[in-house]
Amino acid sequence: MGRSFGKIDDCANLDEIIKDLLNHKIICWHQGRSEIGPRALGHRSFIGLADSVKMRWRLSMEIKRREPYRPVAPIVAEEFLEEFFETKQKSPFMTFAPKAKKKTIRFAPAIIHSDETSRIQTVSIEDNPIMHEILIRIMKAQGVPILMNSSLNIKGDPIVDSPEDTLNTFRMSGADVCYINGKRYDK
């Protein structure tokens, strides 16, 4: 619904994105139109593997510079929702926090709240084909179609909008790499 700053290069660097994620890099992710409101919906996000509490701690403390107890949200491929969460209700706008299943708690602990729920975002191929493809490839590599996701901002700043905002946040944060509409940036 927000402003757009060019089109994403249709997965030109998808193999590199997957490699970065599997190497436990936390990514500044900027694609397509910006979100409206206080949630990261996979267009202006910090993303990373959800396979350890250490990843959540790193995202919260080192990168976003916020309290370590603050939760991060999962992005999950829509067709695997019921396999990993106790719900059938799709949630493309992070409006529900269902209970996580035991396998999710075990294999994606970074996105589990203290009450064993998660404020999920479901992603379909129609809504966000690139993020969906990333989730499917992560599923093939690790058995879990889930990434941790948090808004692309550091403590005290608004969620970024423009590519310039994204690069500034990338430089000021402890994130490892940045992708803007498919183009990779290093520090």
Domain regions of the chain by residue span: 14-182
Q: What is the structure's pLDDT at 71?
A: 84
pLDDT at 68: 83
**Whether residue 40 has pLDDT greater than 80:** no
The pLDDT value given to residue 69: 82
Q: What is the mean pLDDT of residues 132-155?
A: 96
- For residue 7, what pLDDT is reported? 65
pLDDT tens for each residue of 49-93: 999 999 999 999 999 999 888 889 999 999 999 999 999 999 998
Whether 79 and 123 have beta carbons less than 8 Å apart is answered as no
User: pTM for the whole thing?
Assistant: 0.92
- CA dihedral sign, ordered 19, 126, 28, 67: negative
Query: Is the pLDDT assigned to residue 11 strictly greater than 80?
Result: no
Q: Which helix (H) or strand (E) holds 102?
A: helix 102-107
CATH superfamily, domain at 14-182: Carbamoyltransferase, C-terminal domain (3.90.870.20)
Query: What is the predicted pLDDT for the residue at 129?
Result: 92
Query: Which residue bears the tokens 């998808």?
Result: 14
First to last CA, the chain: 30
DSSP 8-state assignment for residue 30: E
**Residue 59's pLDDT is what?**
96
pLDDT > 70: what percent of the chain? 90
Alpha helices in the chain (DSSP H): 14-22, 53-57, 81-84, 102-107, 129-142, 163-172
Taken as a whole, the chain contains a residue count of 187
pLDDT classification of 13: cutoffs 50, 70, 90: confident
Quick check: helix, strand or coil at residue 39?
coil
Tell me which DSSP letter residue 94 carries.
Answer: S
